[in-house]
Amino acid sequence: MPDASRATGGPVDGGFYTPGAPIADDRAPAGPVEDRWTTRKFEAKLVNPANKRKKKIIIIGTGLAGGSAGATLGEAGYHVVQFCFQDSPRRAHSIAAQGGINAAKNYRNDGDSVHRLFYDTVKGGDFRARESNVHRLAEISTQIIDQCVAQGVPFAREYGGLLDNRSFGGTQVSRTFYARGQTGQQLLLGAYQALMRQVDAGNVELYARHEMLDLIMQDGRARGVVVRDLITGEVKHHTADAVVLASGGYGNVYFLSTNAMGSNVTASWRAHRHGAYFANPCYTQIHPTCIPVSGDHQSKLTLMSESLRNDGRVWVPKRGGDERRPSDVPEDERDYYLERIYPSFGNLVPRDIASRAAKNVCDEGRGVGPGGLGVYLDFADAIERLGRKTVEAKYGNLFEMYERITGENPYETPMRIYPAVHYTMGGLWVDYDLQSNIPGLFVVGEANFSDHGANRLGASALMQGLADGYFVLPTGLGDYIARNDLGPVSEEAVAEAETRVRDQIERLLSIDGDRSVDSFHRELGHIMWEYCGMERTEEGLRKALELIPALREEFWTRVKVTGGGQELNQQLEKAGRVADFLELGELMVIDALHRSESCGGHFRAESQDEDGEAKRDDENFSYVAAWEWAGAGGQPVLHKEALEFEYVKPSQRSYK
């Protein structure tokens, strides 16, 4: 077994973190991997149905993970109190997911199975995820589809009436269920309807336009939250027997990303400051299929679904500086580089592979469009082979969206795409029950680190969010509730949390500086993209560790937040989120610097093979990096959870 204690970095050769005690997931049962989930469900203690309504559960977030969790726990009889900062749960960022959801149904009879989905996901994550968690996800995938069909989710169907499938990146089978190019929207509406049924039944209290700003702790346990009403500015508290964070990922630390502009890390980060470990923060997914940046005026980027790579062919001119229209470039002067380099998978290589390949050809001077930061995604072959009507039926809404944004018709001219920040595989550390190291604090969906390792396969985010909310969380949370008969929360614990929130609000409002919140966010994003983006180097990461603390210090002396605290104040909302991003950004850089291997979405230029592919270091880095907060200005403490592989042996990933 690899020695997780031999990792390089640390105070000896850098002084940027402190080694801590190793940790382990003690909730995953032993025995054959295919039996562990069944075993855990049987071993978990149950809550008497009559007692569930006496137990209060707080859920932060209403996306696929949060919405499905609220609906399921409400249906089970718990008293659920749920919050989202949007004006409606329907506006959670999950609604933007387009391409599909994976499940091992094997309707196509093409060799798929639970074990193959398990294998593909462990391999796709570059062997940096737990086998127990990933196998459970593959098992549950089939139940998710049944659940969603029962809810009326309008999945595409083939001529015989069975649900249709298509291929996605990182696999050689068709296991992705879809609803045109709006799968996330349809799945979220299914979860939303189930949630609103529980709201109507009185089992769920729903508070829209409320943002969690702190965690209430008592006796080392999570016992509630402090929230701010974003309309009135009122700060108030809610206590409970357990807290569930379903608040999404932290990709907006880069400023420009495919995330909704309101997406943030605040709920997770405030929990981290109370001792919740933050795991693998450097694992950021760069999505290969985004509309290229068009100028400094942009505040977000637009994702074009990865499903487009199922029928679109990616290419650039063979000659650098070729500014001809794509239709004027003959076939023999085009480089279909993914098909050339990776003949087994072609355009369906995993996202990290496709993203770096696009960067490489653009770095060679063969990129297309403004600044040479783009590659073509061409549907001419698919339209000729299938007909325009068939392509329109599969991708019509995506083509329409692209044309509205760029003014170009992708039926006639190839799309231009370029990689951009999309998803984050890191998140709060959780055990097999999805409970963080803080008792009573559960974390689901993209907010946790548990299933994707160093790189997420396409169409697996929707799978994880719904698996966590509908099927996994109720078992672990029920076991916790059954084993802990908690008393009331003290007034002192509530007052301390509310005071922390009010003090920070007053501090932000009192600075009255001369720089806008967005200017700091944009500058942080530039530092992160430049030094901790698609490719990282030791020199660049050390440079970022100089720039980010200086920027954070400047933020707390020069930021200008207009308006007041007792009113609708979006500048104040942003300021709190950017303050957290400034701290998270530094931890991401520290994590990337200490992990001197390349794996998945984390590519260190110093660690690549002769073909330019990521070169893992399993001997020194086969572990989860779980970081503990050490106070403002303190060195974060690194706890390592060693990873063991019994069923999918780590090997050099090859898609050739």
Active site residues: 351
Q: How far apart are CA 246 and CA 271, in angstroms?
A: 12
Name the amino acid, one letter, at 273: R
CA-wise closest residue to 574 among 588, 563, 586: 563
Residue 422 structure tokens: 């999309």
Q: How far apart are CA 41 and CA 476, in angstroms?
A: 8
* Strands in 168-319 per DSSP E: 176-177, 204-207, 210-218, 221-229, 235-239, 242-245, 278-279, 284-290, 313-317
Q: How far apart are CA 120 and CA 457, in angstroms?
A: 8
Is the Cα dihedral 326, 328, 334, 339 positive or negative?
positive
Q: How far apart are CA 287 and CA 302, in angstroms?
A: 11
Residue with tokens 């008592």: 218
Q: How far apart are CA 311 and CA 377, in angstroms?
A: 9
User: Where does residue 223 fall: left (phi above 0), alpha (psi -120 to 50 degrees), or beta otherwise?
Assistant: alpha
User: Angle 473-483/64-76 helices, nearest 10 degrees?
Assistant: 50
Q: How far apart are CA 473 and CA 471, in angstroms?
A: 6
Residue 651 structure tokens: 């090997």
